[in-house]
């Protein structure tokens, strides 16, 4: 995670961002710290990346890399505003990652925005395309991770990253995902229905609260408080939903998952 000390909305690269909207920075910092502390209270280790004064979106740490079994695929950002973030993540992974074994880092050839568009399930690497990550990054990721990649077409600009429209609830069971069907093309919707017949399907209101931008450890599901409609279906499936306040970070178009890069090492 990267503290939001320098978070602000000064450019707009997704429909959630409006540079005219003021950000309450002390509140953003408080909300972010509460999320970090919640992870720690649940027994997870949280490492911090140093914030950078010129990179307000660095707080969305999920976009910096994809890590599976100690193999790290670096990011290459679609927009020039975020491009310099990739090197900071690379340095972190090469220098200070808490991993016991040395990491194997790949400098990406094609545009991919890390876990914004890559999601790991038990059997697959789900990969979003349409707004940010290049479809060419899918083949690159498949070759690097040696996991079958399922390409999914995003069609609604409000759900510009896969992680705004789909969340993996348990990466040891292949049917354990939740998603918002309308964010996907008709063909991709059918693919998702085939692969995940028991998925939790989100309603529009919960998707618009960025309720799918959640992080699950297989039991606790941390999600934005406003996505209240997801609480009951998650409980029915045996998960423990943990609502969190991240209203200030929503102004940049992100919530829990965007703020969290997962180290599967
Ligand atoms: N303002 C950032 C952008 O548009 C938000 C990134 C959100 N991150 C995510 N993993 N969806 O790139």
Which position among 93, 138, 161, 220 bears the catalytic label? 161
Contact 195, 206 (CB under 8 A): no
Buried b (16+ CB within 10 A) or exposed e, 219-235: ebbbbbbbbeebbebbe
Atom of ligand 1 nearest to the CA of 213: 11
What is the per-residue DSSP string for 28-45?
Answer: HHHHHHHHHHHHHHTT--
- Please classify residue 21 by burial: count the beta carbons closer than 10 Å to its beta carbon, then call 0-12 exposed, 13-18 middle and 19+ buried: exposed
pLDDT of amino acid 173: 85
**Angle at alpha carbon of residue 47, lines to 44 and 51, rounded to 5°:** 140
**Weakly modelled stretches of the chain, pLDDT under 50:** none
Query: What is the C-alpha to C-alpha distance for residues 125 and 119, in angstroms, rounded to an integer?
Result: 6
pLDDT of amino acid 12: 98
pLDDT of amino acid 102: 65
The best mutation among 127, 158, 161, 256 to test binding of ligand 1, ranked by most ligand atoms within 8 Å of the C-beta, falls on 161
In what side-by-side order are the strands of the sheet with 166-168?
166-168, 177-179, 200-201
Q: Is 2 noted as a catalytic residue in this protein? A: no
What is the CATH architecture assignment of 25-250?
5-stranded Propeller (3.75)
Query: What is the C-alpha to C-alpha distance for residues 215 and 199, in angstroms, rounded to an integer?
Result: 16
Atom of ligand 1 nearest to the CA of 164: 11
Atom of ligand 1 nearest to the CA of 132: 12
Alpha helix positions (H), the chain: 25-41, 85-95, 136-145, 186-195, 204-208, 231-236, 247-250
pLDDT of amino acid 103: 75
Atom of ligand 1 nearest to the CA of 254: 7
pLDDT of amino acid 100: 61
Which pair of tokens denotes residue 66?
A: 């994809």
The response to whether residue 57 sits with its C-beta less than 6 Å from ligand 1 reads yes
Cα(258) to centroid of ligand 1, in Å? Answer: 6
Q: Is 6 noted as a catalytic residue in this protein? A: no
pLDDT of amino acid 99: 61
For the stretch 130-173, pLDDT in tens is: 999 999 999 999 999 999 999 999 999 999 999 999 999 999 98
The response to whether residue 13 sits with its C-beta less than 6 Å from ligand 1 reads yes
The response to whether residue 241 sits with its C-beta less than 6 Å from ligand 1 reads no
**Pairing between strand 220-224 and 118-120?**
unpaired
pLDDT of amino acid 95: 86
Cα(105) to centroid of ligand 1, in Å? Answer: 22
């Amino acid at each position: 995670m990267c503290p939001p000390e320098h978070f602000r909305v000064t450019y707009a690269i997704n429909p959630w961002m409006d540079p005219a909207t003021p950000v309450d920075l002390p509140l953003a910092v408080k909300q972010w710290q509460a999320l970090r502390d919640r992870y720690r209270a649940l027994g997870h280790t949280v490492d911090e990346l140093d914030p950078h004064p010129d990179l307000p979106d660095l707080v969305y740490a999920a976009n910096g890399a994809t890590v599976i079994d100690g193999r790290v695929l670096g990011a290459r950002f679609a927009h020039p505003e975020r491009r310099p973030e990739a090197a900071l993540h690379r340095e972190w992974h090469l220098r200070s990652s808490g991993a016991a074994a040395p990491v194997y880092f790949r400098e990406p050839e094609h545009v991919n925005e890390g876990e914004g568009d890559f999601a790991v399930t038990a059997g697959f690497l789900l990969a979003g395309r349409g707004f940010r990550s290049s479809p060419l990054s899918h083949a690159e990721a498949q070759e690097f991770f040696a996991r079958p990649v399922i390409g999914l077409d995003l069609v609604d600009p409000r759900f510009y990253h896969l992680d705004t429209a789909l969340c993996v609830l348990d990466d040891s069971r292949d049917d354990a995902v939740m998603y918002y069907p309308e964010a996907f093309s008709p063909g991709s919707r059918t693919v998702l229905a085939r692969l995940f017949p028991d998925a939790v399907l989100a309603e529009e209101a919960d998707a618009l609260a960025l309720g799918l931008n959640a992080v699950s450890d297989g039991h606790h599901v941390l999600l934005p408080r406003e996505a209240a409609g997801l609480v009951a279906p998650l409980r029915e499936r045996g998960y423990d939903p943990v609502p969190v306040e991240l209203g200030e970070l929503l102004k940049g178009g992100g919530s829990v998952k965007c703020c969290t890069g997962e180290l599967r090492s």
